[in-house]
Amino acid sequence: MITTTDTFASATKNAFATVEASTRSSFDTFERLTALNINVGRGVLEDGIATVNALLSIKTPNELVAVSASLVRPSAEKTLAWFRSSYEILAQGVEQAAAPYETQYSEVNKAIGVALEKAAKSAPAGSEAAVAAVQSAIAAANQAYDTVNKATRKVIQFTEANVTATARAAVDAVSAPAPATKAKKSA
């Protein structure tokens, strides 16, 4: 009975430590995102003031077009930089928050393996097939977990590459000069 109580107490402590580590990691991620957004907000304020000053100094329609065109690309690039930074912080945060659970999962698997071996040694004759079936089921579950984990990471990498390419194309499209229109001759 003491072994079972100790095992349960140890498992409970490990589970709490895992939740604690993951929660602390989530708060760190939130703190980093907040700092990023405060800094970006400060930059937006400064850029806004500079834009208003530039617009107030305009004297001709051509200057208006030139100033407007000069503002588009930097704004789009700053937005893209914010998006990339936010994505990186979130991706790292998810990975850091999941890491303690992956570690605990690995430790639980080892403990189950040891317990199964111990049970197999003390199991009555003829139960080898049942023990083998349980071991096979656990191995299949672990393999499925690994396959899903690897596939998820590949999807994340693929999505990240596509989002970056799409965002870059959007910045380029926004900042590309508008095609010249031909004036129609009236007869």
How many whole angstroms separate alpha carbon 48 and alpha carbon 66?
Answer: 17
CA atoms within 13 A on the CB side of 142: 15
Look at residue 39 in the predicted model and tell me its pLDDT.
97
Whether residue 183 is contained in a domain is answered as: no
Look at residue 44 in the predicted model and tell me its pLDDT.
95
Whether residue 186 is contained in a domain is answered as: no
Look at residue 1 in the predicted model and tell me its pLDDT.
45
Are 123 and 133 spatial neighbours (Cβ–Cβ below 8 Å)? Answer: no
Whether residue 129 is contained in a domain is answered as: yes
Three-state DSSP at 35 gives helix
Which positions ≥6 away from 83 have C-beta within 8 Å?
163, 167
Three-state DSSP at 92 gives helix
pTM of the model: 0.66
User: How many folded domains does the chain comprise?
Assistant: 1
Whether residue 182 is contained in a domain is answered as: no
pLDDT tens-place values along the chain, 187 residues long: 456 677 778 878 888 888 899 999 999 999 999 999 999 999 999 999 999 999 999 999 999 998 888 888 888 889 888 988 998 899 889 889 888 888 888 777 777 777 777 777 777 777 778 778 887 888 888 788 788 878 877 877 787 777 777 777 777 776 666 555 444 444 4
Whether residue 4 is contained in a domain is answered as: no
Whether residue 30 is contained in a domain is answered as: yes
Pick the closest to residue 83 from 151, 145, 13, 170 (CA basis): 170
Domain extent, residue 92, equals 10-175
Whether residue 97 is contained in a domain is answered as: yes
Whether residue 181 is contained in a domain is answered as: no
How many whole angstroms separate alpha carbon 130 and alpha carbon 14?
Answer: 29
Between the alpha carbon of residue 168 and those of residues 10, 68, 159, the distances in Å are 50, 20, 14
Angle in degrees, CA 48, 89, 44, rounded to 5: 5
